[in-house]
Amino acid sequence: MHLTVLGCYAATPRTFTNPTSQVLEINNHIVLIDCGEGTQVELRRHKIKFSRINHIFISHLHGDHFFGLPGFISTMRLLGREKELHVYGPKGIKEVITLLLKLGDSWTNYPLLFHELTSKESELIFEDTKISVTTIPLDHRIYTNGYLFREKVGNRKLNIEAVEEYGIDKAYYQNIKNGKDITLDNGEVIGNSELTYDPPKPKSYAFCSDTIYDESLAAKIKDVDVLYHESTFLESEAELAKKTKHATAMQAAKVAKAANVKTLVLGHYSTRYKSIELFKEEASTIFPNVLLADDGKTFDF
């Protein structure tokens, strides 16, 4: 599971910081999560092919989380895209994007499919044989969702020595990886556990963008491998965080601890602070395994 942070600062873009956008590579999928201004430039900077992105997940309709989306969609048209592009986001996202395309007479020449969200309960919004994506309802000033990405359990791994010892033909290898027992020519049945190893444990990633501190959030992301949680403010500005419906680094750490996640990644920093290291220092007093997102930073989990 590979994460590329394209932008992770709050409010407005600056010459050296970008608003929220990130690319998650998970089980052969490459998804774009939020699309603040500058996303296209950062995708090019990190040599991430636009054509490999087929699913975009927008948390909410504040500009620092989606103002880069119209440009990205338009560029895909100029690049001659033909395959479908799926956009998941709050109700209204279709209206705002299609209005821009209409007024600019620049309809896409590829299928642009919107999946608008309205539920305030967690719901499964995408699933295939490799991953599932579930919404994480958040409490912000407007309708907002986080997203929980989970790998599906993969095939079992062949124990080559055991398979060869029994003289099993390669034609049966896929059935074995799918978990089936094998019957030898002499009628002996070999249990799958003798021929395979357990597959790698599926990984999970929870993206929680703008939200007020919410203790109940922990139950929705219990035991995930990686939690990205906004930390706009430090605890010294806790009242401001409450007023604007944002969270502090310490509050993000409390959620991570209550949810028993393995790793906490902080982001969405207010630019009022001199160093983002202050966020890690504060969160680490509550939760030990804290990483700092930063523009251009990549993580392998």
Was 60 annotated as part of a binding site?
yes
Active site residue 64: yes
**What is the C-alpha to C-alpha distance for residues 55 and 212, in angstroms, rounded to an integer?**
27
Was 46 annotated as part of a binding site?
no
Tokens of 91: 């109700």
List 64, 105, 198, 294, catalytic entry: 64
Was 55 annotated as part of a binding site?
no
- In 3D space, the residue among 242, 252, 266 whose CA is nearest the CA of residue 218 turns out to be 252
41-64 CB burial, b ≥16 within 10 A, e <16: ebbeeeebeeeebebbbbbbbbeb
Q: How far apart are the first and last CA of the chain?
A: 5
Was 229 annotated as part of a binding site?
no
Residue ranges of alpha helices (H) inside the chain are 39-45, 63-66, 69-78, 93-103, 160-165, 173-177, 192-195, 217-220, 238-244, 249-259, 277-283
Was 210 annotated as part of a binding site?
yes
- Render 176-217 in DSSP notation, one character per residue: HHTT--EE-TTSPEEPHHHHEEPPPPPPEEEEE-S----TTH
Q: What angle do CA 84, 89, 219 make, to 5 degrees?
A: 120
Pairing of strands 196-197, 157-158: antiparallel
Was 140 annotated as part of a binding site?
yes
Which residues are documented as binding site for Zn(2+)? 60, 62, 64-65, 140, 210, 268
Residues noted as catalytic: 64
